[in-house]
Structure 1
Amino acid sequence: MNETTYFQLSTLLMCKTWTLPNHPLFQFASGFLLLSYLSPPGIYGLLYLRCCLTIASIFYTLWGWLILCSIDTCVWNLIFTFVNAVYVIFIVFKINPFIRFPHDVELVYRDLFKPLKVSRNSFLKIYKCTREVQTLKAEDVYCYEGETLVDKLSLLLSGRLAVLKNGKTVHLIDAHQFVDSPEWFGVGSNETYQVTVMALEECRLIIWHRDKLKLTIADEPYLQAVMDNILGKDVVKKLLFVTGTVGNAATSNCSTNVNENSKLIVPYHKAMDQVIKRNINPEPNGVHCFWSLSRINEDIETNV
């Protein structure tokens, strides 16, 4: 009895003869299957894995169709090919969603938002809140001090703007800087601008409906943090690049005295000291900050 059992097992476990190696299609398929096991971690590793499995399944399908002439081998591997190909397409679109913006908006995305890891899909949500892209000729006025309501958020795409307070030039706004970043923080839509903004040359601005934008990112904490980060930095830059003519009665008006040298960089340690201490109240000599930032409360949202 034991000899019979041993003979049966030896028959099952040992091959008397070996067939020739399979067709090269089978070898290629197995090679790509092996490569799929070597995929690295991460989204690109997953893409590599699915590409290898797709190619392997194609070779297995061809092997079953041309060499084995086996319908079930072909059908199963066609299914595997389809499933993996769908995953490849999905991952490719996730890595690069092929969302394109107008050239100047694309530059804004690359300069301001992409460094903060904002995806194109997320930036598209912001871009869809655009009210218009406005063009200003030289000396056209964007907003009037004490008259124009703060119901928008604008970014300068090209050109240069001058900010005036009581008819005097305060500072300049260059391309890829926000026009009304200080008003983003806690200023209601029923309030008016505290400065006048005028174009020094032909300018193009992208204008968002501010309340619509705030509602859009209300459920996106990361986008909220990104917008606060970008706009907060813009406010700090405005404080750092305040002209030395604020409060000086001898300051000339915009059309005669605005040039490349009209910006004065405040010494960094003094400027940051002012920002940290919120030292924005009028000084004894009458020099004051032209934005009433003391009204800004972090927890206040714009009323809709």
Structure 2
Amino acid sequence: MFKPLRVSKKHFKELVKEARILNLERGDIYAVEDASPADERLSILLKGKLRVTCDDTHLHFINVHQFVDSPEWEANHDQSDDVFQVTITAEEDSIYLCWSRMKLERFLRHRPLLKVVLDCIIGKFL
């Protein structure tokens, strides 16, 4: 995902170092509509499959190498009290890379090129 945009291995490692790798077992919930804060994190699915629903209606799946919460990331540039408008549930055992908004924004302030790259990647997947 980052390689075509010529992100060096050094910069990629720095970016990933700011994140945590987390697991969801099948049936675990990543976010609950009208309850989970939508401005705290940004995640990329590394393994597995997530189901996105609203009012118990299936909307779509999130697959490997897709952002889990890019619409919420884009909609909440400033800290807010917004909550997810969808529920995201693990369809199968999943692994994701997760950045806290505060840590990622602080990191990107000092690396404007990586900020542009990340903004472009997020925009591509919205």
What TM-score does the superposition give when structure 2 sets the normalisation length? 0.91
Distance in 1 (alpha carbons) for counterparts of 2:74 and 2:2? 19
Identity among equivalent pairs (%): 38
SS of match in other structure, 1:217: helix
Whether 1:229 and 2:117 are equivalent positions in the alignment is no
Shift of residue 182, structure 1, vs aligned partner: 0.8
User: Do the aligned residues in 2 keep the contact of 1:165 with 1:194 (CA within 8 Å)?
Assistant: yes
User: After superposition, where does 1:7-156 map in structure 2 within 5 Å?
Assistant: 112-130=1-19, 132-150=20-38, 151-156=40-45
SS of match in other structure, 2:2: helix
By relative contact order (CA 8 Å, sep 6+), the higher-ranking structure is 2
User: Do the aligned residues in 2 keep the contact of 1:164 with 1:197 (CA within 8 Å)?
Assistant: yes
Map Cα deviations across residues 118-163 of structure 1 (whole Å, 9 max, x no partner): 0111112211211x21111111111100111120111100111000
- Runs of 4+ displaced beyond 6 Å: none
Q: 177, 190, 204: which one pairs with 2:95?
A: 204
SS of match in other structure, 1:135: strand
- Higher Cα Rg, which structure: 1
Shift of residue 189, structure 1, vs aligned partner: 5.1
Whether 1:176 and 2:65 are equivalent positions in the alignment is yes
Distance in 2 (alpha carbons) for counterparts of 1:170 and 1:179? 13
Shift of residue 213, structure 1, vs aligned partner: 0.5
Bigger strand fraction: 2
Whether 1:192 and 2:80 are equivalent positions in the alignment is no
Distance in 2 (alpha carbons) for counterparts of 1:183 and 1:120? 28
Shift of residue 230, structure 1, vs aligned partner: 0.4
Distance in 1 (alpha carbons) for counterparts of 2:65 and 2:104? 18
Shift of residue 186, structure 1, vs aligned partner: 3.9
Distance in 2 (alpha carbons) for counterparts of 1:121 and 1:189? 33
SS of match in other structure, 1:154: strand
What TM-score does the superposition give when structure 1 sets the normalisation length? 0.39
What 5-or-longer segments of structure 1 have no aligned partner?
1-111, 236-304
Matched with 1:7 is none
Amino acid at match of 1:171: H
Matched with 1:286 is none
SS of match in other structure, 1:153: strand
Matched with 1:162 is 51
Amino acid at match of 1:209: S
Bigger helix fraction: 1
User: After superposition, where does 1:235-250 map in structure 2 within 5 Å?
Assistant: 235=126
Matched with 1:218 is 109
What 5-or-longer segments of structure 2 have no aligned partner?
none
Change (3 A) 1:218 1:186: farther
User: Do the aligned residues in 2 keep the contact of 1:125 with 1:216 (CA within 8 Å)?
Assistant: no
User: Do the aligned residues in 2 keep the contact of 1:156 with 1:176 (CA within 8 Å)?
Assistant: yes
Shift of residue 204, structure 1, vs aligned partner: 0.7
- What is the aligned-residue RMSD (CA, Å)? 1.2
